[in-house]
Structure 1
Amino acid sequence: MKILISADMEGATGVTWPEDVLPGASQWERCRGLLTSDVNAAVLGFYDGGADQVLINEAHSTMRNLLLERLDARVELLTGRHKNLSMVEGVQRGDVDGIAFLAYHTGAGAEGVLAHTYLANSITGVWLNGLPASEGTLNAHVVAEYGVPVILVTGDDLTCVDAAGYAPDAITVAVKDHVSRYAAVCRTPARTAADIRAAATEAAALAVRHEPVRGGPFTVEVEFDAEHLSLAAAVVPGVERSGERRVEYTSGTMYEGIRTFKAVTTVVSAAVEEQYG
């Protein structure tokens, strides 16, 4: 049994503030250890549950956050940027039986600790076939095309509620309870490690590959906080403006859909001005 862990950071134990997740910030250095603890707990649980291999894919920002030297010696770490499937890179190899979304968060425009979708700001909402979509939603549709179930999701309590919409069979662990975008009631690392390990042990039984799901076409709509960003996004082939601050595109598969979404966010991030957005 091979498990893929997609490790984001905003949903990690103790993380509540932008500097907790911004590479190079002093609090980021401290929170790297908290994220690594969460991931290690999941790794231990998956091996307890019968996994033979665990591959961890870094999924946050520069994708160089986990402390390799503190990880369980049995794992492999896929670290660094510019990967075909970004947050779920590795699922396309054909040997993954289940995937865990670790330290995830809710989507742009929703309540939740450090809620966003790909870009920390600028994007105010994302919809997939007319329904609000978080990163978890988008990624779950990608991995479904490879026959891989989402078996575990961790983050704040609202992230667990969100996960029920895109992975209703997954085991969820809330490591903190949302108070505001920048505040939460946090459990201690010792407690969350125990909770995550127990959940991962249980979740390992759900790691059973299924027939690939071909659910397309997929229409993705993205709303920005400024009109000029929709203009910038519309330079991406296939992307059209659907409103003053909105764009949309339709893809036959979510493999294509997530890659177009990456292109849109890359172009838009380059169009943001320091003072005026």
Structure 2
Amino acid sequence: MKVFVSVDMEGVSGLTDPEEMRAPGRGYERGCELMTADANAAVRAAFDAGAAEVVVADSHGRGRNLRADLIDERCALVRGTHQPMHMGEGLDASFDVALYVGYHARAGVPLGVLNHTWMGREIHDVRLNGAAAGEIRLMAAYAGTLGVPVGLVTGDAAACAEARETLGAVPAVAVKEGRDRYAAVLVPPPRAQRMIYEEALRSLRDPSGWRRLDVDPPYTLEVEWSSTAIARSCAVIPGVTATGPRSTAFTSGDYTEIVGLLGVLALIAGDVGCTGRHYG
């Protein structure tokens, strides 16, 4: 069995503050350790379930958060900036299943801890073939185009609800429950990591709970931006059309173009938006 583990940070156990999500914020280094510990819980479960190979992708921000010196030495770690497939970097059709650890709810979801979609301030909404799409749907759809199902989602309660709304009865572990965007009732990390390990192990031993998201091509990505300036700048890219004062759309028969383009649009939006902060 070959297992892909994509690890974001906002849904990691113990974390609630934007400062914990980026350097040199207060608590960031500890946040990286907690992120690595949640990842290791899933990796350990994968090997205990009989996996021959586990690839872990650092899927937060610039991809330099997981502690390479603390990650389970049996896995392969995908790390670094400007990865073409971003949160899905390293995934291909040879994998049996994908696990999404530390994921969060899409932008605007009530009580979603650190909720956003792809960017903290610049993106108000994303839709994939007309359906509201957070990072869970976007990445599950990418896996689906490769024939790979999702076997686990961990994060806050809102992220787990979004995963089940998107994928059906997929195994999920809620490590915290939001009280506001920056506040939550937490499962203490040691217990949360045991929960991740136990559910990942159960899921990987029983593939009946795995769920694949199949989205029919062509794929249309619609983005509502925070400003007219971002939308106008993004619409300069060939193939990207303005669909409103603050919105753009792009259609392709190749889902890798959807993921890759979203990363390029985010670079433009970050530059045009000139925001020095994240998550609003």
TM range (shorter): over 0.9
Residue equivalent to 2:105: 106
Give the alignment of 1:135-154 within 5 angstroms.
135-154=135-154
Matches of 1:9 and 1:195, distance apart in 2: 17
Give 1:194 shift.
Answer: 0.9
Give 1:219 shift.
Answer: 1.4
Give 1:211 shift.
Answer: 10
Point out 4+ residue stretches in structure 1 off by more than 4 angstroms: 207-214
Are 1:126 and 1:223, in contact at CA under 8 Å, matched by a contact in 2? yes
Residue equivalent to 1:236: 237
Whichever residue aligns with residue 16 of structure 2, its letter is: T
Whichever residue aligns with residue 20 of structure 1, its letter is: E
Give 1:207 shift.
Answer: 8.8
**What's the TM-score once normalised by structure 1's chain length?**
0.93
Alignment size in residue pairs: 275
Give 1:236 shift.
Answer: 1.8
**Range with bigger deviation, 156-165 or 197-206:** 197-206
Residue equivalent to 2:254: 253
Matches of 2:234 and 2:52, distance apart in 1: 43
The alignment status of 1:176 with 2:176, answered yes or no, reads: yes
Matches of 2:209 and 2:184, distance apart in 1: 34
Are 1:222 and 1:247, in contact at CA under 8 Å, matched by a contact in 2? yes
**What's the TM-score once normalised by structure 2's chain length?**
0.92
Residue equivalent to 1:164: 164
Matches of 2:148 and 2:66, distance apart in 1: 24
Given the superposition, is the C-alpha separation of residues 133 and 213 from structure 1 closer, same or farther in structure 2, using an over 3 Å criterion?
A: closer
1:45-73, CA deviations, whole angstroms, 9 ceiling, x for partnerless residues?
A: 11222212111011001101111222222
1:121-148, CA deviations, whole angstroms, 9 ceiling, x for partnerless residues?
A: 1111111122210011011111111111
Matches of 1:58 and 1:240, distance apart in 2: 31
Are 2:13 and 2:189, in contact at CA under 8 Å, matched by a contact in 1? yes
Residue equivalent to 2:265: 264
Matches of 1:160 and 1:96, distance apart in 2: 23
Residue equivalent to 1:82: 82
Unaligned residue ranges in structure 1 (runs of 5+): none
SS at match of 2:103: coil
Given the superposition, is the C-alpha separation of residues 25 and 174 from structure 1 closer, same or farther in structure 2, using an over 3 Å criterion?
A: same
Query: What fraction of aligned residue pairs are identical, expressed as a percent?
Result: 35
Given the superposition, is the C-alpha separation of residues 147 and 27 from structure 1 closer, same or farther in structure 2, using an over 3 Å criterion?
A: same
Matches of 2:273 and 2:244, distance apart in 1: 19
Residue equivalent to 1:57: 57
Given the superposition, is the C-alpha separation of residues 132 and 208 from structure 1 closer, same or farther in structure 2, using an over 3 Å criterion?
A: closer
